[in-house]
């Protein structure tokens, strides 16, 4: 007898995760866990498990008010396999840097007119901060963004600044393009964010130097430690050099 035709084997947890991503996208960051569970038709415990997993993997991000937005990993997916391979190559040196400094490490790059987060390597000692304003709208206020803007050719930098509003995120944020230009680091220097993105948060970022990629590696620290962060700057620069060598292999 002929085999009875069977439909494809479907994994329910994957279906649920994808459904939750759709619901979060529709909510535009306004919905919290209970509302997402209701909209997706899931139990609250199931929703919490999915949210934790998707957030840990970078496909979702939890913001300060408890709502959820789409995470940085989706940018990598949208950039196809090349970006994914770059992330895989960069992971070991990023983890090395994380272990050396005991803090979360961020990897960003410039791609098709946008500055995007490629990867975040978390640390149990000093976990990642919530990027409650996406890097797309806050490059002017972050060390990662300023490091990359400082490396761009002038036409690319001017095009970026003309197409991205400079929002006032804290009282320290520079919101005038002419003042930002004066404060951008030299392409080989460490960029600094001193409470420009969020009050109580300082960041440093070192450039990634490869023929094909304009990017940066960043770490978070306290603003009061920024003036004397010589050791951190040294470790960050060494980590960025390792990431550059790894990315050059792709």
Q: Is pLDDT of 240 > 90?
A: yes
* More confident of the two residues 205 and 11: 205
Cα 243 versus chain centre, distance: 16
**What is the domain partition of the chain in residue ranges?**
12-71, 74-248
Q: Indicate the pairing of strand 202-209 with strand 105-111.
A: unpaired
Task: Say which residue, 127 or 208, is predicted with more confidence.
Answer: 208
Cα–Cα dist 172/154, whole Å = 25
Pair type for strands 114-121 and 191-194: unpaired
Instruction: State yes or no: pLDDT of 52 exceeds 80.
Output: yes
Please name every residue paired with 117 in a beta bridge, in sequence order, or none if there are none: 108
pLDDT of residue 182: 93
Q: Which residue has the higher pLDDT, 243 or 117?
A: 243
pLDDT, tens digit, 9 for 90 and up, residues 129-162? 555 445 667 899 999 999 999 999 999 999 999 9
SS3 at position 61: strand
Between CA 71 and CA 15 the distance in angstroms is: 18
Q: What is the pLDDT of residue 228?
A: 76
| More confident of the two residues 127 and 169 | 169
| 167 C-beta neighbours (distance < 10 Å), count | 12
**Beta carbons within 8 Å of 1's beta carbon, 6+ residues apart:** none
CA-to-CA dists, residue 210 to 89, 99, 250, angstroms: 13, 24, 10
Q: Which residues contact 22 (CB under 8 A, 6 or more apart)?
A: none
Task: Reply yes or no on whether the pLDDT at 2 is more than 50.
Answer: no
Q: Is the pLDDT of residue 209 over 50?
A: yes
Q: Both tokens of residue 153?
A: 């050719």
Block residue for tokens 């396999």: 81
Question: Which of the four pLDDT bands, split at 50, 70 and 90, describes residue 75?
Answer: low
- Name the band, by pLDDT with cuts 50, 70 and 90, for residue 68: confident
CATH topology of domain 74-248: Beta-Lactamase (3.30.450)
d(CA 209, CA 244): 6
Please report the pLDDT score of residue 71 as a whole number. 76
Q: What is the mean pLDDT of the chain?
A: 84
Share of the chain above pLDDT 70, in %: 84
Q: How many residues does the chain have?
A: 250
Q: What is the pLDDT of residue 70?
A: 80
Q: Do domains 12-71 and 74-248 have the same CATH topology?
A: no
| Overall fold of domain 12-71 | Arc Repressor Mutant, subunit A (1.10.10)
CB 244 within 8 A of CB 208: yes
Q: Which residue has the tokens 């951008």?
A: 184
């Amino acid at each position: 007898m002929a085999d009875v035709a069977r439909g494809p084997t479907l994994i329910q947890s994957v279906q649920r995760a994808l459904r939750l991503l759709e619901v979060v996208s529709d909510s535009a960051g306004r919905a919290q866990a209970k509302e997402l569970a209701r909209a997706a038709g899931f139990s609250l415990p199931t929703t919490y498990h999915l949210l934790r997993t998707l957030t840990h993997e970078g496909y979702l991000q939890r913001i300060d008010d408890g709502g959820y937005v789409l995470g940085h990993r989706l940018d990598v997916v949208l950039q196809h396999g090349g970006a994914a391979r770059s992330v895989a190559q960069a992971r070991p040196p990023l983890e090395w840097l994380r272990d050396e400094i005991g803090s979360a490490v961020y990897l960003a790059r410039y791609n098709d007119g946008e500055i995007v987060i490629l990867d975040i390597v978390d640390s149990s000692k000093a976990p990642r901060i919530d990027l409650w304003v996406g890097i797309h709208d806050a490059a002017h206020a972050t060390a990662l963004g300023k490091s990359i803007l400082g490396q761009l050719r002038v036409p690319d930098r001017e095009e970026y600044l003309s197409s991205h509003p400079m929002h006032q995120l804290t009282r320290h944020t520079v919101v005038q393009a002419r003042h930002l230009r004066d404060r951008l680091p030299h392409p080989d220097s460490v960029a600094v964010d001193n409470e420009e993105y969020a009050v109580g948060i300082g960041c440093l970022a070192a450039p990634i130097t490869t023929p094909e990629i304009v990017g940066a590696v960043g770490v978070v620290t306290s603003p009061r430690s920024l003036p004397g962060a010589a050791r951190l700057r040294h470790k960050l620069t060494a980590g960025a050099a390792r990431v550059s060598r790894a990315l050059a292999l792709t």
